[in-house]
């Protein structure tokens, strides 16, 4: 049997909110596609933290399963995204999202 | 008391490393700081009795995914961006929208009836909570179909990555 948590759920949620916001800032203000991807990983991890904290709170393992799925999706996303970045870099010699604006019209 | 102390340590380091990820110039340093965030989150997962998820976090995230990142960063050999942040109004609106998102999340979290209204933590958790056996039991019974679909997703991702990285595609 495990005892009651010493740290309230609220703190974990605040930490998740802070990390998610830092990730949002990274996606919105950075120019390098690589750093934008890292910021997306940051956001995914903030959500994972939220899942695990709620899982602990409700005493159910379902949150852990969701974290497992998020990790699988993140791995797929990183593989595809980095392949796209490599393909763009090979053709345009740049990894900056401000230089890749063919779809902008 | 010890738990709160460890939480503060892990949380502080994670936030510091996360700020480094976003505001560091060199992408290699960004990737290594992201590893720092992931390891600290693994520590927090252990505080939450999610031992198996913490192990997955270290092995899959900090191990496999970040190696992929570092591999691509070093393969591309991107120079540090000269204006670090996106120029002009986009930067201002970026910070503004991020602030709005943060205030919204904080408001949701602090709302009575939100987290504050959540049931008190189930104090007597089963001793096997967070163990691989318990996770496997849930994963292979309740979540069996999503699990199988995930395997297809990974297969598609592998094929897609190979096709995209082939020469003369774009």
The one-digit pLDDT tens for each residue of chain B (170 residues) are 888 899 999 999 999 999 999 998 888 999 999 999 999 999 999 999 999 999 999 999 889 999 999 988 888 877 666 677 777 788 888 899 999 999 999 998 888 765 555 566 556 677 788 889 999 999 999 999 999 999 999 999 999 988 987 876 55
Q: B82 in contact with A at a CB cutoff of 8 Å?
A: no
Residues of A in contact with B135 (CB under 8 A): 61, 64-65, 68
Q: Residue B85's beta-bridge partner residues? A: A30
DSSP B124: S
A37, A65, A74 member nearest B135 (Cβ): A65
Burial category of B91 from C-beta neighbours within 10 Å (exposed 0-12, middle 13-18, buried 19 and up): middle
Task: Look at residue B13 in the predicted model and tell me its pLDDT.
Answer: 96
pLDDT tens-digit profile of A54-101? 998 888 889 999 999 999 999 999 999 999 888 888 887 777 777 777
pLDDT tens-digit profile of A8-24? 888 899 999 999 999 99
Cβ separation A15–B11 shorter than 8 A? yes
B18, B65, B98 member nearest A75 (Cβ): B65
For the whole model, what pTM was predicted? 0.90
Task: Look at residue A64 in the predicted model and tell me its pLDDT.
Answer: 93
Q: Answer with the residue of higher pLDDT: A100 or A53.
A: A53
The torsion defined by the Cα of B118, B123, B124 and B125, in degrees rounded to 10, comes to 60
Burial category of B59 from C-beta neighbours within 10 Å (exposed 0-12, middle 13-18, buried 19 and up): exposed
Residues of B in contact with A4 (CB under 8 A): 120-121, 123
Taking only residues 117 to 136 of chain B, the set having a beta carbon closer than 8 angstroms to any beta carbon of chain A reads: 118-127, 129-130, 134-135
Burial category of B112 from C-beta neighbours within 10 Å (exposed 0-12, middle 13-18, buried 19 and up): exposed
Task: Look at residue B114 in the predicted model and tell me its pLDDT.
Answer: 53
Q: Tell me if A19 sits within 8 A of B33, measured CB to CB.
A: no
Q: Of B146, B164, B144, B167, which Cα lies nearest the Cα of B156?
A: B164
């Amino acid at each position: 049997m495990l005892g009651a948590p010493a740290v309230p759920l609220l703190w974990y949620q605040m930490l998740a909110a802070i990390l998610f916001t830092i990730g949002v800032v990274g996606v919105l203000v950075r120019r390098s596609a690589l750093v934008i991807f890292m910021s997306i990983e940051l956001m995914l991890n903030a959500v994972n933290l939220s899942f695990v904290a709620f899982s602990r709170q409700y005493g159910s393992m379902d949150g852990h399963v969701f974290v497992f799925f998020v990790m699988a999706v993140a791995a797929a996303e990183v593989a595809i995204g980095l392949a796209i970045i490599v393909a763009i870099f090979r053709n345009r010699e740049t990894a900056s999202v401000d230089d890749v604006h063919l779809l902008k019209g | 008391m010890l738990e709160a102390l460890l939480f503060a340590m892990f949380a502080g380091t994670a936030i510091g490393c996360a700020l480094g990820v976003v505001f560091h110039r060199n992408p290699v340093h960004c990737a290594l700081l992201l590893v720092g965030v992931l390891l600290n989150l693994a520590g927090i997962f252990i505080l939450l009795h999610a031992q198996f998820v913490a192990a997955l976090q270290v092995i899959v995230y900090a191990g496999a995914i970040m190696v992929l990142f570092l591999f691509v960063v070093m393969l591309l050999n991107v120079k540090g961006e000269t204006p670090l942040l996106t120029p002009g109004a986009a930067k201002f609106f970026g910070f503004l929208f991020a602030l709005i998102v943060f205030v919204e999340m904080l408001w949701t979290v602090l709302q009575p009836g939100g987290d504050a209204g959540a049931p008190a933590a189930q104090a007597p958790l089963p001793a096997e909570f967070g163990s691989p056996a318990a996770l496997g039991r849930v994963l292979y019974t309740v979540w069996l179909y999503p699990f199988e679909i995930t395997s297809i997703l990974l297969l598609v991702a592998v094929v897609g990555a190979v096709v995209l990285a082939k020469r003369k595609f774009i």
